[in-house]
Amino acid sequence: MKQLISSIFLLVSLFSCQNQTDNSINKEVVNSIQKEEVEETDFDKFFKKYHSDSVFQVNHTQFPLKCVHIELEEITTTFIQKNDWKFNNFEDNKTSEHDHYEYIKEIGNDNLVLYEMRGIDNGILVIYKFTFNNQKWMLEEIEDASN
């Protein structure tokens, strides 16, 4: 009889420990999701992750991505498909001799940020249009007016 009571007590203890573990894991997941959502509403925190995490970048780029190319008086529009996207860390060639450029962030309103890549003495001008919809920032369009 003592053995039966001991066995029941052991089983109850194991199940209660498992339940506490499951609850703590669930709380960690919820906290992680909430933290990510908060960080995504702040553009600077979002952009830091956007230019350093390739998976995050793909998930926060609207595909097909509209690309407008402006050359003299000719405007052409192309679209980049998800499988053709190449990761952009926004730092490559930033200080190279031929492709030297700087970034300028212009805030249109709470839901629009234009992130400009302006070349220094080289004719580079690329504007990345980010919009905030459905509680997350997305790259919506690229405009290339480089000459």
Domain of 68, CATH number, reads 3.10.450.410
Distance of alpha carbon 39 from alpha carbon 34, whole angstroms: 9
- pLDDT given at position 85: 97
- 11 and 73 co-located in one domain: no
Distance of alpha carbon 26 from alpha carbon 24, whole angstroms: 5
- 138 and 79 co-located in one domain: yes
Identify the three-state secondary structure at position 60: coil
Query: What percentage of the chain reaches a pLDDT higher than 70?
Result: 67
- 78 and 122 co-located in one domain: yes
38: pLDDT strictly greater than 50: no
- pLDDT given at position 29: 46
- 99 and 138 co-located in one domain: yes
- 132 and 65 co-located in one domain: yes
DSSP state of 106: E
Please count the structural domains in the chain. 2
- 67 and 130 co-located in one domain: yes
Higher pLDDT among residues 66 and 30, named by residue: 66
Phi, psi (5° rounding) for residue 18?
A: -60, -40
Identify the three-state secondary structure at position 102: strand
- 69 and 102 co-located in one domain: yes
CA 7-12-18 angle, 5° bins: 125
- 62 and 100 co-located in one domain: yes
- 22 and 47 co-located in one domain: no
Parallel, antiparallel, or unpaired for β 61-71 and 136-144?
parallel
- 24 and 80 co-located in one domain: no
- The range of the structural domain enclosing residue 20 comes to 1-41
Q: Which residues, in sequence order, are CB contacts of 102 under 8 Å at separation 6+?
A: 94, 117, 118, 120
- 57 and 10 co-located in one domain: no
Taking the complete model, does pTM exceed 0.75, yes or no? no
- 49 and 36 co-located in one domain: no
